[in-house]
Amino acid sequence: MIMPIRQFQAQRMHAPRDFQPIENKPVCVEIGAGKGKHALLFSGQHPDLQLIAVERTREKFVAMQKQHQLEGQANLTPIHADALPWVVHALYPQQVQQFFILYPNPEPHNPAQRWLNMPFFEFLISRLQPNATVTLASNIPEYIAEAEQQLKNVWKLPYEKQVIAQDSARTHFEIKYLERGELCQQLIIQKPETYTTRFDDFQPLNGQNTQTVDESNDAR
């Protein structure tokens, strides 16, 4: 089944509490960073890259923040916020080198909230640099299969599907799933140089909320 996609209404997004704008320079972004295991590993392994790790749940964010204070990676910025409004208010067009969405909630009772079924995914792609990637990982084969279908039929984006190695340990969920013997897979989704979205000229709201809404409901 192909999920219908309405146009995302970015101007309706209120800024997260205590929002702070960021500079328009290349960054990597992890959405749903949890307690920060992957964020801390990645920033330690790639000191030349700046990573912003966004987590909505306060308890998990505090755990990530405390561990970050212990390890002290200067290239990691933990953010306590809901990812959708934060992305809309903070990120510039073609700013992001990599997005990581590792083991998101599969939303079994609300398929429209899965990442590639949301209108917001088009906005997310508009923030990617040309040839940059989104890494989407899951232990649920049906989730990956549905995402593949959306990439082919709706978003028209190239991707590579990979089986995650048994010794991988990027997140606490990944460790748990692999120890159970579950199949963990990821899609490496690439944005071609010629790819365009309806948000390519949309600048970050930087804490402002204009309430000017484009009512178009066209699918991509």
SS3 189: strand
Pair of tokens at residue 69: 């204070």
**Structural domains of the chain in order of their starting residue, each with its CATH number:** 25-112 (3.40.50.150)
Q: What is the largest CA-CA distance in the chain?
A: 49
| Calpha distance 181→204 (Å, rounded) | 42
Instruction: Give the pLDDT score at 212.
Output: 43
Instruction: Give the pLDDT score at 207.
Output: 83
Q: How does pLDDT run across 35-72, given as a tens digit for each residue?
A: 999 999 999 999 999 999 999 999 999 999 999 999 99
| Calpha distance 36→60 (Å, rounded) | 8
Rounded mean pLDDT of the chain? Answer: 92
Reported as a pLDDT band with limits 50, 70 and 90, residue 211 is low
Specify the pTM. 0.92
Percentage of residues in the chain having pLDDT higher than 90: 90
Percentage of residues in the chain having pLDDT higher than 70: 92
Reported as a pLDDT band with limits 50, 70 and 90, residue 2 is very low
- The H or E element containing residue 183 is none
pLDDT at 218 over 60: no
Instruction: Give the pLDDT score at 214.
Output: 39
Least confidently predicted of 108-122, 153-167, 197-211 = 197-211
Cβ atoms of 144 and 104 within 8 Å: the answer is no
| Calpha distance 57→32 (Å, rounded) | 9
Burial class (CB in 10 A: 0-12, 13-18, 19+), 46: middle
Q: How does pLDDT run across 24-38, given as a tens digit for each residue?
A: 999 999 999 999 999
| Calpha distance 99→141 (Å, rounded) | 21
Cβ atoms of 137 and 174 within 8 Å: the answer is yes
Instruction: Give the pLDDT score at 217.
Output: 31
In the chain, which ranges are continuous DSSP H helix?
Answer: 37-45, 58-71, 83-90, 120-126, 141-150, 172-179
Please state whether 34 falls in left (phi above 0), alpha (psi between -120 and 50) or beta: left
Closest CA to 135 of 70, 71, 199, 51: 51
Q: How does pLDDT run across 100-149, given as a tens digit for each residue?
A: 999 999 999 999 999 999 999 999 999 999 999 999 999 999 999 999 99
| Calpha distance 84→120 (Å, rounded) | 8
Instruction: Give the pLDDT score at 170.
Output: 97
